[in-house]
């Protein structure tokens, strides 16, 4: 169980140090927190609540893809969906740590996608992402990589050249892992300047630095799920500038 799991919701903007943290550790400002300890008023409908949005209406013909069950959020791509599930939370930051508990199967994945819908140089606001699989962690700069509009246009038009392919390859880093499938794990994704760091179960997996990660106005968290994933205890914090 993560040390930050809590029995009641935390008000955004409060300064709350982590339980058990060293006394000299810097305090953090909580931007968002959700423990999913609630139920839908109409279980057959998609009612995530607490500011969460989904792409189910646009990409899954309105079919329910996100369910609240057992005090957690269960995300499942519907058979009629033409795109992976995107569960969104609008929260603004520059540097932050995104923490959660997650559970995925051996063929599943969970993407921690950071976006700025006002950024016009990229497709759909994509800036950077950490994608978690049971056998691999991938950290990607999407802004200056494959979601850059010019690069994406050439790729879709099939006019990309070797230089494009080399550039895109340089914008991503993959690391092999061995995570137990269908079991809960603790995840922390930290963005500091141009570097994204992924830690699982309290241990650093890897980090990757690239210019797009340093985008100053991050405005949206997307949980990107290709098949099936469970998520709980989401918490987003940023360093307290007053400390």
Q: What is the per-residue pLDDT across 53-86, written as a single tens digit (0 to 9) for each?
A: 999 999 999 999 999 999 999 999 999 999 999 9
C-alpha to C-alpha distance for 132 and 123, rounded to whole angstroms? 22
pLDDT of residue 26: 62
pLDDT of residue 12: 44
Kindly give the interhelix angle for 149-156 and 162-169, rounded to the nearest 10 degrees: 130
Which residues of the chain carry a pLDDT beneath 70?
Answer: 1-26, 242-243
Tell me the domains of the chain and their CATH numbers.
Answer: 29-121+128-139+176-239 (2.60.120.560)
């Amino acid at each position: 169980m993560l040390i930050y799991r809590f029995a009641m919701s935390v008000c955004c903007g409060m300064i709350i140090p982590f339980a058990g943290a060293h006394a000299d550790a810097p305090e953090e400002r909580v931007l968002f927190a959700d423990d999913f300890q609630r139920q839908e008023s109409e279980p057959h409908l998609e009612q995530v609540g607490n500011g969460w949005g989904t792409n189910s209406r646009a990409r899954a013909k309105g079919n329910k893809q996100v369910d609240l069950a057992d005090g957690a959020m269960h995300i499942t791509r519907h058979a009629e969906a033409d795109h992976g599930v995107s569960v969104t939370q609008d929260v603004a930051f520059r540097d932050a740590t995104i923490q959660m508990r997650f559970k995925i199967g051996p063929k599943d994945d969970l993407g921690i996608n950071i976006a700025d819908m006002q950024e016009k140089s990229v497709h759909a606001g994509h800036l950077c992402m950490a994608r978690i699989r049971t056998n691999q962690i991938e950290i990607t700069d999407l802004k200056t990589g494959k979601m850059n509009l010019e690069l994406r246009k050439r790729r879709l038009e099939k006019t990309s050249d070797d230089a494009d392919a080399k550039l895109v390859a340089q914008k991503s880093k993959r690391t092999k892992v061995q995570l137990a499938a269908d079991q809960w794990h603790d995840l922390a994704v930290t963005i500091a300047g141009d570097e994204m760091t992924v830690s699982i179960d309290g241990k650093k997996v890897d980090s990757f630095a690239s210019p797009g990660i340093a985008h100053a106005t991050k405005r949206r968290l997307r949980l990107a799920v290709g098949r099936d994933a469970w998520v709980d205890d989401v918490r987003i914090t940023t360093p307290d500038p007053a400390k």
